[in-house]
Structure formats: C-alpha cells, structure tokens
Amino acid sequence: MKVCGIELKGSEAILALIDKNGQDIEHVSIATKKIPLGDGECCVQVKSFKETFESFCRENAVDKIVIKKRGKKGDYAGGADTFKMEGIIQVSDVPNVILISPQSISAMQKKSNLELPAALNKYQHTAFYTGVAGADK
C-alpha cells in the first residue's frame, strides 16, 4: 500500500511517499516533494493546486493520505491556507484520507527506531513520519 504523508506548512503541501507491505516500510523517491498553493484567494491557483495534487496521486498510485493535524487556535494554529489545502486534499480522488495528531507522530517516533532514508530532504522528515504513523490507522 502506498501512503503519502503530508505536512501543510505556510502555503505548501510537503510530501513524502512510503510503501508499506506488512511491517516493512520503504521510502519511495518522488520528483514532486512540495506542491505550492500560491495565492489562496485566486480561484485559478486553488484549482491548479487541486489538479496538481490529484495528478501526483494518480501518477504515484497513492492508496492513502495522512495529514499532520494543525492547531485551530493558539500559538500553534495553522494558517488559513493550510486549512484550505487540507479541505482540497480531503475531497480529492484518493478515498482514504486521515488526519493524525502531532502527539501520535511523536509517540510513533519514540516507539520505533525508524531511520530516515538518506534520499529524504530535511524539510520532508515530518511528512515521512506522518505517513509512517498513519499507515496502520
């Protein structure tokens, strides 16, 4: 099963793709590592984000999407664009989209001795851990 872990940050969706087969987890190298929203108030750019994201999912045969939750209020609240991207992703063609809390991701990191793949960029680490933590949910 191919799982796409996503961290929504600023006006970008940061992606990491894993292939989970039983207990085996393997990082899948992808050309598209970020998908920018651009101007969230521009209908054309919002539609472009949706089309680019759905194209990415089709090309990589994504079975499941796991998004790291953001706070709705307080110091760690997500921006408006992150919630807009989340909504677009939730109504995408991929039928299995879940949200996972930062606490669940941290707990998974502590329990497992999962090593980060060398091919992964530093900014993708959270997206990778998000995908791994939500793969079995």
Per residue in 31-63, pLDDT (tens digit) is 999 999 999 899 999 999 999 999 999 999 999
* Assigned token pair, 46: 């919002």
pLDDT surpasses 90 at 73: no
Query: Would you state the pLDDT for residue 90?
Result: 95
The pLDDT of residue 78 is: 79
The CA distance from 86 to 99, in Å, is 9
What is the mean pLDDT of the segment spanning 77-82? 86
Q: What is the mean pLDDT of residues 71-97?
A: 88
**Which pLDDT belongs to residue 113?**
81
Which has the closest alpha carbon to 27: 9, 3, 56, 53? Answer: 3
Contact 130, 7 (CB under 8 A): yes
pLDDT of residue 37: 96
Provide the strand spans (E) within 45-110: 64-68, 97-100
Using a pLDDT cut of 70, give the percent of the chain over it: 100
